[in-house]
Amino acid sequence: MRIARIRALTVLCALALVAGLITVWAIRNDSQLSASSDCEPGAVEIKTAPIPDPSEIEVVVLNGTDRTGLGEQAAAQLEDRGFIVTDVGDTDEKVDEPAVVFFGPAQFAAGVHVHAYFLGGRQEFSLDWDKPITIILGDEFAEVRSTSDARQSFAQSGSIEAPEGTCTVE
């Protein structure tokens, strides 16, 4: 019986050693990296998904033209599409495009979504932007695109690319 016990202990030790080696190998070769491990030092983390619903997006609309009431008109159209317009006003800043959408890291996905509603508009992302999403209307502005047109434009644009100085997190 003594030889049988030694043989059994030897097999158990060999199995424990193999299990330990497999565990060490699995931990070292784990492909599930944390979201921030891909970020370069100093990069700002942004969320590119999920795209928020318009009812969750607050915007400020500023009229950068000499046309009276243009900001109110655009604000009403945005509210019809479900956005929350927190402020409407005028600005001295002139833009060449129909509209410029300003946003920062906290509203990245929402800012890209809002931009889709302005055909020919431009988006301006700033790492230092800490205000609500702000839309400045230009002389070429005609109307806010319909929800279906904006969705189509958004879908055709492909995936959202993270701007320089940022990295995406889920």
Neighbours of 109 (CB within 10 A): 18
Instruction: Supply the pLDDT for residue 9.
Output: 85
User: Would you say residue 153 lies in a domain?
Assistant: yes
User: Would you say residue 38 lies in a domain?
Assistant: no
User: Would you say residue 84 lies in a domain?
Assistant: yes
Residue span of the structural domain in which 23 resides:
1-30
User: Would you say residue 90 lies in a domain?
Assistant: yes
Q: What's the token pair of residue 47? A: 């969320």
User: Would you say residue 36 lies in a domain?
Assistant: no
Tell whether 64 and 140 lie within a shared domain.
yes
Asked if residues 101 and 133 have their Cβ atoms less than 8 Å apart, the reply is yes
Tell whether 91 and 129 lie within a shared domain.
yes
Nearest-5° Cα angle at 141, 137 to 145: 105
Instruction: Supply the pLDDT for residue 148.
Output: 87
Instruction: Supply the pLDDT for residue 158.
Output: 64
The pTM of the full predicted model, rounded to 2 decimals, is: 0.72
Domain count, the chain: 2
Tell whether 12 and 58 lie within a shared domain.
no
Tell whether 68 and 6 lie within a shared domain.
no
Among 80, 133, 78, CA closest to 109: 133
User: Would you say residue 69 lies in a domain?
Assistant: yes
Distance between first and last Cα of the chain: 59
Instruction: Supply the pLDDT for residue 42.
Output: 74
Among 127, 9, 131, CA closest to 62: 131
Q: At what angle do helices 108-115 and 147-156 cross, to 10 degrees?
A: 110
Nearest-5° Cα angle at 37, 36 to 41: 80
User: Would you say residue 37 lies in a domain?
Assistant: no
In the chain (170 residues long), the average pLDDT of successive 10-residue segments reads: 84 88 82 56 78 91 92 94 94 91 90 90 89 94 89 74 76
Tell whether 19 and 99 lie within a shared domain.
no
